[in-house]
């Protein structure tokens, strides 16, 4: 998962500080690296490096990023590589000079690599973002015109969407032409845009638009299969370039990834998580009524699950307490590359307030259970702090299948719920009982205030992949490439993380 941002202003108003501010707000979407590219007087200016936004950018390199249009990126790698060569923005000088930022995953990479070889375009990394950049460049180059119009841009993006399968949102900066933003035909990965009297902004989440100076305000989400082009004269053109499109946003955005103050495709992330808490409380009341009288205190795993935990507390009339204390200077474990780093970071990340646990029956509320290692370590911490009984709940349904659209949810043999039921999972992680939200309830929670309910991309819960190129052979090959042995029907799941 990554965060992308693009700003274009008129009257030579600089965008450098606004890009840094916006990326800082999107920091939760990736901590591997950060980068910005701007254009001034037909020349690109770019800086990127490993680390957090606050570590990468300083007064000197921000000052050098001059120009009234620019794009930015915060990266988390879904392929395990944290190479600076794969950090974004990515650049190619033909045609015109192009820089690109991308959030998501392409799922037909081998096919696209062969196409690039045919076109004699060299790909230097294993990044699907570099592939996407070069495919866009190749299609635009084929227009062979010196004066690019909106129709040329729309036709280019249409060709890109015909070739590229998967989930993606993209912003491209084109020298002497303008800025292009588009979203995959299913709207799996989020992208919205806003405006003020001086220009336009594109962002992975609305919260980055909210915090910008100069009174930017959210206009709407980019539609699935839509391309929005803003030329160098600050004129905006929008067109749905995909003949068949449908809105199926990734449901994990609402469960875990997005900030609670964001609105994605008309859904308040905060309200969705609030309702997930309601649904989980109702399940406890209806299917585990004995727990209502047995639980002494409800404790969230900071920070994403707090909203759901508070609602469960109110619904069950059981005290809510902050029992785990988070070290804010350790990155989120779910999106850290490398399993050993994840394991170590959990130990550094959380500690307990012993008096909250001592002699009590507790309900721990987390946003999700993926591999199982994080919850196992949390339970060990709770037991060490003196908890009597430990019930563990997940605002998300059981994660049974890998995600291939930009979230690093691993393969079947790594997922604790793929081969175990709730009783077996409870035994595995050391809990007295485990309670999951049901998928239908999570979907209802996201749709609670919508006039027209959405369908969601929820492959990690139901195994249904909305693009037509994902099958067992694809998953087997993907797993082999990552050096993990493929087990089509594993007899037992490793508990590797979260």
**Domain map of the chain by residue range?**
3-247, 269-457
C-alpha–C-alpha distance, residues 379 and 366, integer Å: 12
Which range among 58-62, 134-138, 210-214, 318-322 shows the weakest confidence by mean pLDDT? 210-214
Instruction: Produce one character per residue of 26-49: b if its CB has 16 or more CB atoms within 10 Å, e if not.
Output: bbbbbbbbbbbbbbbeeebbbbbe
* Average pLDDT of every residue of the chain: 91
Instruction: Yes or no: say if 358 and 385 are a contact pair by the CB < 8 Å rule.
Output: yes
Per DSSP, 417 falls in state G
Give the CATH number of domain 3-247; options: 3.10.180.10, 3.20.20.70, 3.90.1150.10, 3.60.20.10.
3.60.20.10
Where does the pLDDT of residue 396 fall: very low under 50, low under 70, confident under 90, or very high at 90 and above?
A: very high
Contact 152, 145 (CB under 8 A): yes
Percentage of the chain beyond pLDDT 90 is 78
Angstrom CA distances, 427 to 370, 411, 413, stand at 16, 22, 18
CA of 150: how far to CAs of 139, 177, 230, 239, in Å?
A: 14, 10, 9, 9
Instruction: Judge whether 259 and 269 are in contact, CB under 8 Å.
Output: yes
- Band of residue 1 on the pLDDT scale cut at 50, 70, 90: confident
pLDDT value at position 84? 84
Beta-carbon neighbour count of residue 129 at 10 Å? 25
- Average pLDDT in the 54-60 region? 96
Mean pLDDT, residues 166-173: 98
Third-level CATH fold of 269-457: Rossmann fold (3.40.50)
Query: Is 266:187 a contact under the CB 8 Å cutoff?
Result: no
Is pLDDT above 70 for 336? Answer: no
Nearest CA-CA partner of 301 in 361, 264, 336, 256:
256
Question: Catalytic one among 2, 227, 242, 446?
Answer: 2
pLDDT for res 146: 77
In angstroms, rounded to a whole number, what is the distance separating the alpha carbons of residues 476 and 361? 43
Bridge partners, residue 221, by sequence: 192
Omega before residue 441 within 30° of 0, cis: no
What is the separation, in whole angstroms, between the first and last Cα of the chain? 16
pLDDT at 17: 96
| Structure token pair of residue 283 | 């399940």
Query: Looking at the DSSP assignment, which residues form a beta bridge with residue 268?
Result: 263
pTM, two decimals, is 0.92
User: 242 an active-site residue?
Assistant: no
The DSSP string of 247-272 is: ---BTHIIIIIS-TT-EETTEEHHHH
Do 335 and 31 form a contact (C-beta atoms < 8 A)?
yes
Q: What is the mean pLDDT of residues 404-413?
A: 84
Mean pLDDT of all residues in 114-127: 90
Distance CA 137, CA 19 (A): 24
- 85, 21 contact by CB (below 8 A): no
Per-residue confidence (pLDDT) for residue 106, from 0 to 100: 96
Q: In the chain, pLDDT over 70 holds for what percent of residues? A: 92
Is 143 a residue whose pLDDT tops 90?
A: no
Residue 497 has pLDDT above 90, yes or no: no
Closest to 398 measured CA to CA, from 445, 456, 447, 439: 439
């Amino acid at each position: 998962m990554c965060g992308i941002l693009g700003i274009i202003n008129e009257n030579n108003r600089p965008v450098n500080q606004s890009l840094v501010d916006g990326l800082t707000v999107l920091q939760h979407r990736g901590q591997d690296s950060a980068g910005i590219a701007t254009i001034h007087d037909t020349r690109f200016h770019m800086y990127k490096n490993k680390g957090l936004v606050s570590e990468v950018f300083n007064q000197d390199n921000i000052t050098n990023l001059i120009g009234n249009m620019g794009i930015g990126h915060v990266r988390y790698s879904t392929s395990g590589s944290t190479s600076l060569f794969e950090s974004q923005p990515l650049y190619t000088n033909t045609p015109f000079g192009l820089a690109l930022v991308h959030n998501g995953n392409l799922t037909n990479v081998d096919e696209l690599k062969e196409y690039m070889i045919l076109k004699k375009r060299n790909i230097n990394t294993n990044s699907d973002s570099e592939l996407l950049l070069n495919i866009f460049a190749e299609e635009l180059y084929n227009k062979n015109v010196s004066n690019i119009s909106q129709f040329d841009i729309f036709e280019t993006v249409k060709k890109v969407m015909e070739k590229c399968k998967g989930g993606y949102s993209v912003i491209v900066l084109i020298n002497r032409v303008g800025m292009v933003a588009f979203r995959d035909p299913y709207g799996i990965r989020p992208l919205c845009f806003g405006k003020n009297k001086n220009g336009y902004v594109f962002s992975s989440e609305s919260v980055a638009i909210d915090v910008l100076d100069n009174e930017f305000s959210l206009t709407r989400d980019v539609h699935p299969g839509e391309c929005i082009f803003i030329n160098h004269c600050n004129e905006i053109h929008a067109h749905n370039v995909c003949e068949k499109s449908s809105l199926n946003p990734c449901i994990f955005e609402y469960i875990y990834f997005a900030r609670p103050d964001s609105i994605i495709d008309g859904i308040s992330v905060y309200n969705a998580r609030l309702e997930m808490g309601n649904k989980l409380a109702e399940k406890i009341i209806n299917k585990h009524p004995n727990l209502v009288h047995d639980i002494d205190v409800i404790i969230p795993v900071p920070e994403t699950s707090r909203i759901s935990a508070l609602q469960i507390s109110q619904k069950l009339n059981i005290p809510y307490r902050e029992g785990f204390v988070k070290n804010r200077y350790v990155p989120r474990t779910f999106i850290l590359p490398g399993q050993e780093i994840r394991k170590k970071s959990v130990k550094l990340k959380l500690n307990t307030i012993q008096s909250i646990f001592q002699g009590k029956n507790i309900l721990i509320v987390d946003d999700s259970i993926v591999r199982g290692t994080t919850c196992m370590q949390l339970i060990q911490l709770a037991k060490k702090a003196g908890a009597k009984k430990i019930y563990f709940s997940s605002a998300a349904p059981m994660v049974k299948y890998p995600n291939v659209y930009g979230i690093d949810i691993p393969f079947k043999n790594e997922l604790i719920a793929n081969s175990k039921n709730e009783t077996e999972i409870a035994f595995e992680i050391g809990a007295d009982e485990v309670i999951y939200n049901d998928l239908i309830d999570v979907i209802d929670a996201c749709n609670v205030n919508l006039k027209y309910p959405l369908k969601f991309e929820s492959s990690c819960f139901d195994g249904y992949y909305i693009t037509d190129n994902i099958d067992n052979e694809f998953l087997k090959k993907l797993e082999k490439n990552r050096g993990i042995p493929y087990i089509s029907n594993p007899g037992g799941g490793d508990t590797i993380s979260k």
